[in-house]
Amino acid sequence: MTRAISPLLPIVYSAEVTAAKTRGAPIVALESTIITHGMPYPGNLDMALSVEEIIRQQGAVPATIAVIDGVLHIGLEPDVIKALAQMTDVMKLSRADLAFAIAERRSGATTVAATMIAAARAGISVFATGGIGGVHRGAEESFDISADLEELARTAVIVVSAGPKAILDIPKTLEVLETRGVPVVTYDSEDFPAFWSRSSGLKSPLSVASPAAIANFQKVRGQLGIDGGMLIANPVPEEFEIAREEMEIYIGRALANAEREDVTGKDVTPYLLDNLFHLTDGRSLKTNIALVENNARLAAEIAVAMI
């Protein structure tokens, strides 16, 4: 392992990522909040290891990102991933507190927003996740809008997702992304997906049919001097999909439970995901794992096409 970049910023690259950077190989960033706050153990560990393997099979190198004891890690060794998957007192880090965790020597998992910041810092321009955060239902009252949206507007990283999580208000999420100038591009479909389902009932603002087209689109944005990232929506494979109408019933119950228990702030998304895991007898988790794997494959293809 190498300590690099700045003597002021404690940052460690995995051996695999260091080698990839040296030879200019394609790298795909992966977040860690999905491991610590998005899925229960041991499904989270299986997912974290399998997505890395999928990226390697496509000829790219995985870089799972987290803060461990105040050190920003770009690429985690398998034993660290194993430990992280079982940790219960890890912070959930976004733009507001990524630096806090480093400054205070804490451990924290990076959300989409914090992973984008770290990836950009490390020169990685493609990132695979499950679903981004967005505008929560009832945001007109709660003001709960994920910092992921603002980060997409600011930081030049291509984020491959299965759409915004269906627990959110998807039309409002699309409106904010449009206002902030973030391209929303569905892969190989005109329908905008809703995480567990292949369609949200909304048309996708843009769509493309190949990883090379995505790479080229981002290149042209750069040539025009347009800052910021891009959201790729990759519909979950059909065999793992949970129909939208069915999922809506569970989401309604999970939202009611969250309200009754007064869940707010950072706890909302993890609470809802855990509730849905129980309400669907674990089916939502199987779908979640399948869609992250599917996104890892596409992200690797995009990273390869960008070289």
Residues that bind ligand PSU (CB under 6 A): 31, 33-34, 37-38, 111-112, 129-131, 133, 146-148, 266, 269, 273, 288
The catalytically annotated residue of 16, 21, 52, 165 is: 165
Q: Which partner in ligand PSU, Mn ion, none is near 38 (CB below 5 to 8 A by kind)?
A: ligand PSU
Tokens of 277: 């895991």
CB of 161 to ligand PSU, least distance (A): 7
Q: Which partner in Mn ion, ligand PSU, none is near 112 (CB below 5 to 8 A by kind)?
A: ligand PSU
Query: Which of 5, 49 has the CB closer to ligand PSU?
Result: 49
Query: Which of 35, 61 has the CB closer to ligand PSU?
Result: 35
Query: Which of 215, 232 has the CB closer to ligand PSU?
Result: 232
Q: Which residues bind Mn ion (CB under 5 A)?
A: 144
Cβ-based neighbours of 213, under 8 Å, separated by 6 or more? none
Q: Which partner in Mn ion, ligand PSU, none is near 164 (CB below 5 to 8 A by kind)?
A: none
- Is 291 in a helix, a strand, or coil? helix
Q: Which of 132, 46, 128 is nearest to 85 (CA)?
A: 46
Q: Which of 141, 136, 143, 132 is nearest to 195 (CA)?
A: 132
CB of 268 to Mn ion, least distance (A): 6
CA–CA separation, 253 and 305 (whole Å)? 42
Q: Determine the distance from the C-alpha atom of residue 291 to the mean position of all C-alpha atoms in its chain, rounded to a whole number.
A: 11
HSE-CB of 208 using CA atoms within 13 angstroms:
18
Report how far apart, in Å, the C-alpha atoms of 135 and of each of 165, 263, 302 are: 10, 16, 27
SS3 content of the chain, % helix, strand, coil (to 5): 50, 20, 30
CB of 114 to ligand PSU, least distance (A): 8
Which residue bears the tokens 């990226």? 55
CB of 255 to ligand PSU, least distance (A): 13
**Residue nearest to Mn ion as judged by C-beta position:** 144
Query: Which of 20, 107 has the CB closer to ligand PSU?
Result: 107
- Is 196 in a helix, a strand, or coil? coil
Query: Which of 61, 112 has the CB closer to Mn ion?
Result: 112
The catalytically annotated residue of 16, 31, 52, 293 is: 31
Give yes or no: 165 in active site. yes
CB of 212 to ligand PSU, least distance (A): 26
Contact predicate 291/162, CB 8 Å? yes
What is the phi/psi pair of residue 241, to 5°? -65, 145
Give yes or no: 31 in active site. yes
Q: Which partner in ligand PSU, Mn ion, none is near 130 (CB below 5 to 8 A by kind)?
A: ligand PSU
- Residues serving a catalytic function are 31, 165
